[in-house]
Amino acid sequence: MDVLTLSRLQFAITSMFHFIFVPLTLGLSILTAFMETRYVMTGDTTYLKMTKFWGKLFLINFALGVVTGITMEFQFGMNWAEYSRYVGDIFGAPLAIEATVAFFLESVFIGLWIFGWNKVSQKVHAASIWLVALATNLSALWILLANGWMQHPVGYVLRNGRAEMVDFMAMITNPDGLLKFAHQLTSGYTVAAFFVMGVSAWHLLRKNETDFFIRSFRIAATFGLFSTVAVGIFGDMSAVEVAKVQPTKFAAMESVWESRHGVGMNLLLLPDPPNECNSVEGVCVPNAVSLLAFHDPNALIKGLKEFPPELRPPVLPTFISFRLMAGLGSYFILAALAATILSRWGKIENQKLLLKLLLYSLPLPYLANFLGWVVAEVGRQPWIVYGVLKTSAGVSKSVSLSQVIGSLVGFTLLYGFLGVIDIYLLAKFARKGPDNDLSTLIKPRGQEA
């Protein structure tokens, strides 16, 4: 193990752990805001109970997400100082906007929402959680625009041994960043939808607060159906963009070794380099890769052999992760469709098989998110900024092996401890169910502040 390998491992561990919390925060903030809005519009106290119950789980997840996210930025200066020096003027801009605009807005209004019960009007209180949801999603936008620039650098020049921004608009309108944002946003909504359906299923199987969890389930199922379909659409658009601007990553995603027209898709098995998937034998779909990449069944796909071995990404993890992610995405659409239909036109509390399936499916959207990031980041290698700066050139020169080992062990232990706390708190309050005492939350209608 060297400094480069351990620094990559450390960033992977910290970012993946942080990303346990991000998707749920994105989606659960929207659902909580919707539930409170329904209460304000209808006066139905069941929606108020929903707001309190799901909002509490949102706050637990939000708090852990903030704590684990802060440490990641320090690593750019400690483990990746050469990267920060080379592209800091560009990469730092969206992160600065995220901190000064989105995070500031998020922090102010999350405080108002937490402590404003019974102190501000119902409409102001509901507006505060919508602003939290907006800020959370804006935060994701700026971070993913920064990552999108790393995947497809635009609007810059190389000058004085550094990359300098010359076109800010080019960066914020970068198709790779915008598609990554849309794909990740809807992925987060999917996580939240399956989280709410999974927790609701647990209670419905035990006949706890049946009306409350039927209504929660119904809202999440509809939200999940929209989200899963949108994930598929934006995922397809992202793959088309990757085929255009990151040909090595796309070739690894599909294990295409020889350049050719009309490339078929191998659904399950990784072919050896000499054996291309170009027939209906086995699990091959003829011309599918060319059709999906360029919407032309005879389009040319560049193979990995077109590029020097040292510029090819690891094929096996990229190939397998992409297929697992896509397969899970298809399953999510079918599960959300079944959940929506049965919760709207049937008695969902009696559908024990579906409820058990959704309960056990609760961690799968998290897994799909992780697999997507494996495709995005492992598939970009050996570049930290695609085509501009190699990962090996971005690591700090002054950091010793012992320092990286020490921080890696420290982060792993700390994050492991925080992970145990998070799972314990989420499980504790999810099992407890809703609080029926609403007297301290919001004043009766007509007496709002």
Beta strands 389-390 and 162-165 are unpaired
In contact, 209 and 434? CB cutoff 8 Å: yes
Residue 308: inside a domain: yes
Residue 447 scores a pLDDT above 80: no
* 78 burial via Cβ count (<10 Å: 0-12, 13-18, 19+): middle
- Whether 117 maps to a domain, the answer reads yes
Asked if the structure places residue 297 within a domain, the reply is no
Q: Looking at residue 270, what is its pLDDT?
A: 57
Residues 347, 271: Cα–Cα separation, whole Å: 46
AA letter at 283: V
Residue 344 falls inside a structural domain: yes
- State the pLDDT at residue 275: 46
Stronger pLDDT, 191 or 118, i.e. the higher one = 191
Tokens of 89: 């003027």
In this prediction, residue 424 carries a pLDDT of: 85
Phi then psi for 209, rounded to 5 degrees? 45, 55
CA 295 to chain centre: 26
Which range (19-33, 105-119, 228-242, 423-437) has the least confidence? 423-437
Q: What digits encode the pLDDT tens for the residues 259-278?
A: 888 887 777 655 555 445 64
| Sequence-ordered alpha helix ranges (H) in 20-162 | 22-42, 45-78, 81-97, 104-115, 122-151
Of 32-46, 55-69, 216-230, 270-284, the range with the lowest mean pLDDT is 270-284
From 321, 435, 449, select the one nearest 376 (Cα to Cα).
321
Residue 214 lies in a domain: yes
Strands (E), 234-343: 260-261, 265-266, 284-285, 300-301
Q: Do the beta carbons of residue 29 and residue 132 sit within 8 Å?
A: yes
Specify the pTM: 0.87
Residue 84's pLDDT is what?
Answer: 83
Higher pLDDT, 25 or 449: 25
CA dihedral 427, 67, 145, 317 (to 10 degrees): -60
77 domain residue, yes or no: yes
pLDDT of residue 32: 92
318, 249 Cβ separation under 8 angstroms? yes
Whole-angstrom distance, CA of residue 111 vs CA of residue 128: 9
Q: Which of 4-13, 56-65, 210-219 has maximum average pLDDT?
A: 210-219
Q: Interhelix angle for 175-205 vs 364-378, to 10°? A: 160
- Is 440 contained in some domain? no
For the chain, the domain total comes to: 1
Local confidence band at 209 (pLDDT 50, 70, 90 cut-offs): confident
pLDDT digits 0-9 by tens, 169-182: 988 899 988 999 99
Task: Express each pLDDT in 363-420 by its tens digit.
Answer: 999 999 999 989 989 989 899 888 888 888 888 787 778 877 888 888 788 888 887 8
| Rg of the chain over all Cα atoms, to the nearest angstrom | 23
- How many Å apart are CA 63 and CA 371, to the nearest integer? 24
Q: Which two three-digit tokens encode residue 287?
A: 């011309």
**250 within a domain of the structure (yes/no):** yes
Calpha distance 45→61 (Å, rounded): 24
Can you give the length of the chain in residues?
449
Task: Write down the mean pLDDT value for the chain.
Answer: 84
Strands, E, within 116-267: which ranges? 156-159, 162-165, 260-261, 265-266
pLDDT, position 186: 93
Judge whether residue 444 has pLDDT over 50. Answer: no
Residue 439 has what pLDDT?
54
Ranked by mean pLDDT, which of 10-19, 227-236, 431-440 comes out on top?
227-236
Mean of the pLDDT values across residues 10-16?
Answer: 80
Q: What is the pLDDT of residue 193?
A: 94
Domain that holds residue 192: 3-259+302-432
Helix (H, G, I), strand (E, B) or coil at 382: coil
Q: Which of 288-297, 361-370, 372-381, 439-448 comes out lowest in average pLDDT?
A: 439-448
- For residues 360 and 335, what is the distance between their CA atoms, to the nearest angstrom? 12
**What b/e string do you get for 307-346 counting C-beta neighbours within 10 Å, with b at 16 or more?**
eeeeebbebebbbbbbbbbbebbeebbebbebbbebbeee
- What is the distance between the alpha carbons of residues 409 and 1, in angstroms, rounded to a whole number? 14
pLDDT grade for 279, boundaries at 50, 70 and 90: very low
